[in-house]
């Protein structure tokens, strides 16, 4: 059942670390980096390129360390970091996301959601061809699915724990539709499911 370890590119690690610093402050981030073996990034962010940076297992440890640092508040902090990291992607990596010059305002809401989620899938695949992710439209609600989720790599849990992903997807859907939607992680590899699945629920009032 163990998944092969893989790599995360500099651009994506940079996105996560810049966002984590924004949300946690530099001191908080540095403490976390030291507890998860990534002290080389203290005061030295990786460049914004597509070269390999760290292993997927290190990325999972970073997420776990942030959760551990905040205890019960960890889930909310990771969601905030996820939101910030989508904003960073839009700001600094629009070409990577395939969003440069995108005109989606006239599309129906479901099409807009599909557009941005496919953008995320394609950007991830561009960064690592081993990524196995897709947008699922077979159910009543559109869902984002990844079989190679880095956040929960090697972890086990009774409940879904890919909170950073939930934050990124909710910010992506907000960007595409102008409204906050509930994002529910219905499946998680850490629970023994065959993939992590994030369903886009109803718009929040």
Q: How far is the CB of 9 from Zn ion (least distance, A)?
A: 18
Q: How far is the CB of 83 from Zn ion (least distance, A)?
A: 17
Q: How far is the CB of 160 from Zn ion (least distance, A)?
A: 7
Helices 10-35 and 109-127 cross at an angle (nearest 10°) of: 80
Distance between CA atoms of residues 50 and 64, nearest Å: 24
6 versus 31: smaller Cβ distance to Zn ion: 6
Helices 74-92 and 163-177 cross at an angle (nearest 10°) of: 50
Phi-psi region of 101 (alpha: psi -120 to 50; beta: other; left: phi over 0): left
* Closest-approach residue to Zn ion (CB): 149
DSSP 108: -
Q: How far is the CB of 151 from Zn ion (least distance, A)?
A: 5
DSSP 100: T
112 versus 197: smaller Cβ distance to Zn ion: 197
113 versus 149: smaller Cβ distance to Zn ion: 149
The binding site for Zn ion (CB under 5 A) comprises 149, 151-152, 162, 196
18 versus 162: smaller Cβ distance to Zn ion: 162
Helix (H, G, I), strand (E, B) or coil at 4: coil
């Amino acid at each position: 059942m163990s998944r092969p370890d893989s790599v995360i590119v500099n651009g994506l690690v940079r996105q996560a670390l810049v966002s984590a610093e924004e949300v946690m402050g530099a001191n908080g981030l540095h403490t976390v980096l030291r507890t998860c073996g990534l002290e080389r990034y203290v005061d030295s962010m990786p460049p914004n390129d597509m070269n390999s940076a760290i292993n997927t297992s290190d990325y999972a440890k970073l997420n776990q360390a942030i959760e551990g640092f905040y205890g019960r508040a960890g889930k909310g902090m990771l969601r905030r970091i996820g939101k910030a990291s989508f904003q960073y992607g839009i700001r600094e990596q629009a070409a990577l996301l395939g969003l440069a010059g995108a005109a989606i305002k006239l599309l129906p809401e479901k099409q807009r959601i599909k557009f941005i989620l496919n953008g995320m899938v394609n950007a991830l695949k561009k960064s690592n061809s081993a990524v196995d992710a897709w947008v699922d439209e077979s159910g009543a609600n559109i869902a984002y699915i990844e079989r190679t989720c880095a956040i929960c790599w090697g972890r086990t849990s009774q409940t879904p724990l890919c909170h950073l992903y939930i934050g990124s997807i909710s910010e992506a859907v907000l960007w595409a539709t102008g409204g906050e939607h509930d994002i529910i992680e219905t499946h998680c590899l850490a629970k023994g499911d065959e993939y992590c699945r994030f369903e886009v629920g109803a718009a929040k009032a």
